[in-house]
Amino acid sequence: MTTYDDRASLTDLTATVERVRSSVEGVIEGKPEVVRLSLTVLLAEGHLLIEDVPGVGKTMLAKALARSIDCSVRRIQFTPDLLPSDITGVSIWDQQRRDFEFKPGAIFAQIVIGDEINRASPKTQSALLESMEERQVTIDGQTYELPSPFMVVATQNPVEMEGTYPLPEAQRDRFMARVSVGYPSVEAELQMLDVHGGASPLEDLQPVAHAHDIVKLIDAVRGVHVAEPVRRYAVELVSATRSHPDLRLGASPRATLHLLRAAKAAAALSGREYALPDDVQALAVAVLAHRLLPTAQAQLNRRSSEQVVQEILQRTPVPSAPQQSGFGGLGRAGYGQPPRRLG
Query: Using CB under 8 A as the criterion, which residues of the chain lie in contact with other proteins when the complex forms?
Result: 3-4, 225-227, 229-230, 273-278, 281, 313-318, 320-321, 325-327, 330-339, 342-343
Residue whose CB is less far from other proteins, 248 or 315 = 315
CB 306: neighbour CB atoms within 10 A?
17
CA separation for the pair 159, 49 (Å, rounded): 13
CA separation for the pair 317, 331 (Å, rounded): 11
CA separation for the pair 118, 153 (Å, rounded): 13
Smallest separation, CB 273 to other proteins (Å):
7
Smallest separation, CB 2 to other proteins (Å):
11
Q: How far is CA 334 from the centre of its chain?
A: 30
Residue whose CB is less far from other proteins, 1 or 193 = 1
Residue whose CB is less far from other proteins, 168 or 328 = 328
CB 316: neighbour CB atoms within 10 A?
17
Smallest separation, CB 14 to other proteins (Å):
17
Residue whose CB is less far from other proteins, 242 or 315 = 315
Residue whose CB is less far from other proteins, 6 or 70 = 6
> For residue 270, what is the DSSP state?
T
Strand 99-104, strand 89-94: pairing:
antiparallel
Residue whose CB is less far from other proteins, 183 or 327 = 327
CB 170: neighbour CB atoms within 10 A?
12
Residue 313: name the closest of 340, 282, 337, 338 by CA: 282
Residue whose CB is less far from other proteins, 143 or 337 = 337
Helix (H) / strand (E) element for 103: namely strand 99-104
Residue whose CB is less far from other proteins, 230 or 292 = 230
Check: CB of residue 58 under 8 Å from CB of residue 181.
yes
Residue whose CB is less far from other proteins, 184 or 331 = 331
Cβ neighbours of residue 129 closer than 8 Å, sequence gap 6 or more:
170, 171, 174
CA separation for the pair 265, 159 (Å, rounded): 29
Smallest separation, CB 308 to other proteins (Å):
15
Check: CB of residue 128 under 8 Å from CB of residue 109.
no
- Angle (nearest 5°) at CA 112 between 20 and 160: 105
Half-sphere exposure of 337 (CA within 13 A, CB side): 4
Smallest separation, CB 330 to other proteins (Å):
5
Amino acid at 312: I
Smallest separation, CB 232 to other proteins (Å):
11
Smallest separation, CB 324 to other proteins (Å):
13
Smallest separation, CB 247 to other proteins (Å):
19
Q: Could you give the 3-state DSSP secondary structure of residue 310?
A: helix
Smallest separation, CB 231 to other proteins (Å):
10
* Torsion angles phi and psi, residue 90, rounded to 5: -135, 155
